[in-house]
Amino acid sequence: QSVLTQPPSVSGAPGQRVTISCTGSSSNIGAGYDVHWYQQLPGTAPKLLIYGSTKRPSGVPDRFSGSKSGSSASLAITGLQAEDEADYYCQSYDSSLTSFVFGTGTKVTV
């Protein structure tokens, strides 16, 4: 079972704003380790969406933004589009497990 908890699903109408939370603990996000976010479209490999909690790789629209506070992180999608329907995963490092860990995943429905 994952040490990073995400809501199973979120939904929104086109054009709306949705946020996805990623709750960790003092051995991962709370310890200061970076948080990254991945988007997995149906039937495809995950794609890096946000790295270092807030940075976007080249080519990722600025509709996607990340934040981090304490032992939690969040991904926000503004101006929701049909093409944003996907599974989203957060990822960090856990010093107790000495392993890279992923969140439980959130399905976004538009």
Partner 1 sequence: QVQLQESGPGLVKPSETLSLTCSVSGVSMRGYYWSWIRQPPGKGLEWIGYIHYSGTTKYNPSLKRRAAMSVDTSKNQFSLNFSSVTAADTAVYFCTRDFDPFDYWGQGTLVTVSS
Could you tell me if 19 and 76 are in contact, meaning their C-beta atoms sit under 8 angstroms apart?
A: yes
Segment contacting partner 1 by CB under 8 A, of 19-27, 43-51, 59-67, 68-76: 43-51
Taking residue 36's Cβ as centre, other Cβ atoms within 10 Å add up to 22
Residue 22's nearest CA partner among 56, 69, 54 is: 69
Interface with partner 1 includes 41 (CB under 8 A)? no
Shortest Cβ 55–partner 1 spacing (Å)? 10
Could you list the residues that contact partner 1 (CB under 8 A)?
2, 34, 36, 38, 44-48, 51-52, 57, 89, 91, 93, 97-105
